[in-house]
Amino acid sequence: MPIIKLNNGDDYLFQEDNSPVHKAGKVQLFMKSAGIKVLKWPPKSPDLNIVEDVWKILSDAVYDRPPFLNKCSLLQKINEIIRDINESKRHVILNLYANIRTRLCKVLLRKGGLFNK
């Protein structure tokens, strides 16, 4: 959320898929209490959801090392990686946003079918 607010202030819609985890009561309560507006999004649309790409960037960096011994060291590494992404790889995420229109067009050309990114 800090990255979204940094780029957009409060003028944004949060996109998520219809995963049961995202629809859990606690998650819905958090979103509402934090004032997060959620974009209505059809299920099974991973091609258009750049968060999957962002998760890959994060998980590749987190697990490119020996296993973590405890939760604290894992959280510390995640925070370091997020800082690194913000400082040196922000252009990668901004490029993902810039290419959403291309992804939409590919889905339209395939009449809703899947495509390779």
- In this structure, the answer to whether residues 38 and 49 fall within a common structural domain is no
pTM (2 d.p.): 0.54
CA distances (Å), 97 to each of 1, 44, 80, in order?
A: 15, 19, 23
Residues 109 and 52 in one domain: yes
Would you give per-residue pLDDT tens digits along the chain (117 residues)?
A: 777 778 778 888 887 777 778 788 998 899 889 888 888 776 666 567 788 888 888 999 888 888 889 999 999 999 999 999 889 988 998 999 898 888 888 877 877 666 665
Residues 37 and 8 in one domain: yes
User: Is 67 found in the same domain as 104?
Assistant: yes
